[in-house]
Amino acid sequence: MSRTNTNGKVVTVDEQAFENTGEQTIDEDGFPVVDETSAFEAAVEQETQAKVDANHPDGIPDTSTERIHGVTLEQEERIRAREAELERISAQAELGTQDGREQRTRAVAAHGSTERRQTFQKRAASVDPRVDPDRDDPRTELSQDELATVNTEATRLATRLDGWSRAAISCRLAEAVVDDKDLTSAVVRVFGELQMAPGQVVPIGKLEDVDRKEVSIDGRVKTLWDPSHPSIAQVGLIADDSGQTRVTIWKASEAPWIAEGERVRIHGAARNWYEGRVSLAVTGWSTIHFPERGRWWEA
């Protein structure tokens, strides 16, 4: 539908509507007509959700060797890092599925450890021939009766020596028997050597025979007296079946308090001499144990 205006130009209805958009409509009473139809605009929640959807990783396009269009630099770096991590995981998975790889690695590590141990033992054999890895077991040189006797004595000594197995004692006894040809003297010699070995509890009566600076003892507190110096926490005598010795506990050691009549086991006590006799000192490197403490059945 169209009409002709005053200047003779033909104007359509749509054009007339476009031309009249700026004009306000007047009703029949002469009042302007107000358009109460609300305009459709995005709410705050909708705008926020749109931003979230636009920045979500699942909505980011695939990567390429060039820049990723439509994403920020931070998003692109995150995508690159995620792809690199996936490639690394895939490579590890492929290596982990190789047949026998774990077993071969374990075998190589064990072989290297054995070689290093043998090298160390060969060097130590120049000082102590008994640790030579190429040396034959001395028990093979004993007769059947001698071997049975050696094993019996080794079992008996194992109950008196902490930290030594029956097999180790048996090997040392067999070596001593081969050298001395006398089982009794071999037992006495081996027992004395193992008893004085580092880490073993030394009888208090044998402290003078020990040639190292630190020893371990096990005895009962016989008496305590007042310290003669402010830096000394406690001082007294500790005795066992073989003898007794003076023990000084320094305050700097922060050792636990001991009481008269109590059984104590001291590890790493410093060995020194006091008035011509051997004595012990508890230092910061020493530890004190109380074997009889906490025995609830005696409470």
Are residues 217 and 294 located together in one domain of the fold? yes
Are residues 232 and 255 located together in one domain of the fold? yes
On whether the pTM is more than 0.75, the answer is no
CB atoms within 10 A of CB 253: 18
Q: Flag whether 105 is in a domain.
A: no
CATH of residue 239: 2.40.50.140
Are residues 280 and 258 located together in one domain of the fold? yes
**Contacting residues for 136 by C-beta, under 8 A, at least 6 apart:** none
Are residues 294 and 208 located together in one domain of the fold? yes
Domain count, the chain: 2
Q: Flag whether 157 is in a domain.
A: yes
Are residues 281 and 215 located together in one domain of the fold? yes
Based on the number of CB atoms within 10 Å of its own CB, is 202 exposed (0-12), middle (13-18) or buried (19 or more)? buried
Q: Flag whether 107 is in a domain.
A: no
Are residues 190 and 210 located together in one domain of the fold? no
Q: Which of 148, 174, 195 is the last residue of a domain?
A: 195
Give the domain range for residue 148: 138-195
| Rounded Cα–Cα distance for residues 277 and 236 (Å) | 14
Are residues 156 and 233 located together in one domain of the fold? no
Are residues 230 and 289 located together in one domain of the fold? yes
Q: Which of 171, 195, 219 is the last residue of a domain?
A: 195
Q: Which of 151, 174, 195 is the last residue of a domain?
A: 195
The DSSP secondary-structure symbol of 180 reads H
| Rounded Cα–Cα distance for residues 104 and 93 (Å) | 17
Hey, is 237 helix, strand or coil?
strand
pLDDT for residue 234: 94
Are residues 147 and 190 located together in one domain of the fold? yes
Query: What pLDDT, in 10s, does the model give residues 149-180?
Result: 888 888 888 887 777 788 888 888 888 887 77
Q: Flag whether 62 is in a domain.
A: no
Are residues 223 and 293 located together in one domain of the fold? yes
Q: Flag whether 143 is in a domain.
A: yes
pLDDT for residue 2: 46
pLDDT for residue 299: 43
Are residues 229 and 292 located together in one domain of the fold? yes
> What parts of the chain have a pLDDT lower than 70?
1-25, 27, 33-42, 50, 52-67, 94-100, 128-135, 181, 294-299
Q: Flag whether 242 is in a domain.
A: yes
pLDDT for residue 18: 47
